[in-house]
Structure 1
Amino acid sequence: MQQILLQQYRLVLSARSALFDYCKTLKPEDSLKPLPAFNNESILSQLIHVANCYLFWLSKTAMQQLRPFFNNEEHQDIPSVIQVFDKVDIMMHEFLHYFSGSLEQQRLITRPDGRQLTRSPFEIFTHVITHEFHHKGQVVSMSRQLGYTPVDTDVVRE
């Protein structure tokens, strides 16, 4: 199953690369512009949020590793965000290696608010990639609100 998840993550990387290539064409000030329709978040803050979701679920929650969250103020342009996602990719490979023999085994997880839930590494993997695609759609929509015409950033694209 680990090989299948690696293949699936490669598809995520391809779609992410298309999004980042598109984001490089945006004016830097537009990437930082808070949009009221998106809770005054910016394109870059959405992307950092996605990276922090990977960090929270893969590293902190599943592997119980202490790593600092990525800070919006330190990542004010697309090249910096791309570097953040290079670290996310390393985390994903560590995660898949860490759980290579137990991807479907249920584990007790304690959330920061103290609530507990039971999830498998496979479910966590699925959560973080679908969460990324949700926010990828928001980033594309945000750029449209800023007057841009987005490119196709889906997994299956021409």
Structure 2
Amino acid sequence: MESIMSLQYDWVRGSREVLLQYCETISAADFCQENSSFGRGSIRNLLVHIANTYEFWLGEQALQKEVAFTSYEAVQNIKDAWLLFQEIDKLVEEFVASFGRSYLTNLEVSINDTSTKANPLKLFTHVITHEYHHKGQILSLSRHLGYVPVDTDIMR
């Protein structure tokens, strides 16, 4: 399963790369412009929220690491977002190396101060699907800002 998780994450990273390259075409002002119609408010905030979800579920909950969650203000431009996701890639590599062979073994996790169990495969699936959900919001928000979104699907 370790190699399957790595392969699947490679596809996610390829799709994310297309998104981040597209975000390079968005003005700095639009990148951080808040819009209350979209959950986290701005393209920047949505990208940071995606990263925070990896930090929380894979880093803090699964790997039991002390995580300093990235703040919105820590990412001021698309270059900062690229750097942030390089760190997320390292976190995912560590997660896959740690749990790729025990992917169905339940872990104790906490959600909203409630303890529950989830296996690493479920956590991995959650962070990936969560990323795609918010990637769609980023593309929709960019359209509202006057940009023409690109295809960021894995199959493109």
TM-score (ref. length: structure 2):
0.97
Q: What amino acid sits opposite 2:52 in the alignment?
A: N
RMSD of aligned Cα (Å): 1.0
Unaligned runs of 5+ in 1: none
Structure 1 segments (4+ residues) deviating >4 Å: none
Distance in structure 2 (CA, Å) of the matches to 1:78 and 1:36: 21
**Per-residue displacement from partner, 1:95-119 (whole Å, max 9, x unpaired)?**
01111321111122123x3201111
List alignment gaps of at least 5 residues for structure 2.
none
Percent sequence identity is: 38
Summarize deviations over 1:77-131 as a string: whole Å, max 9, x none: 00001100000000000001111321111122123x3201111000000000000
Q: Aligned AA for 1:38?
A: F
Match of 1:17, as an amino acid?
E
Range with greater deviation from structure 2 (113-122 or 2-11): 113-122
Question: What pairs up with 1:31-42 in 2 under 5 angstroms?
Answer: 31-39=31-39, 41-42=41-42
> For 2:85 and 2:125, how far apart are their aligned partners in 1?
17
Q: How does 1:1-158 map to 2 (within 5 A)?
A: 1-39=1-39, 41-111=41-111, 113-157=112-156
Q: Distance in 2 between matches of 1:30 and 1:156?
A: 28
Give the distance between the partners of 1:150 and 1:127, measured in 2 at CA: 24
Once residues 116 and 18 of structure 1 are traced to their aligned partners in structure 2, the CA distance between those partners, rounded to angstroms, is: 37
Q: Secondary structure at the match of 1:109?
A: strand
Query: Taking structure 1 as the reference length, what is the TM-score of the superposition?
Result: 0.95
> Which amino acid in the other structure matches residue 30 of structure 2?
D
Aligned residues: 156
Q: What is the CA distance between 1:67 and its match in structure 2?
A: 1.8
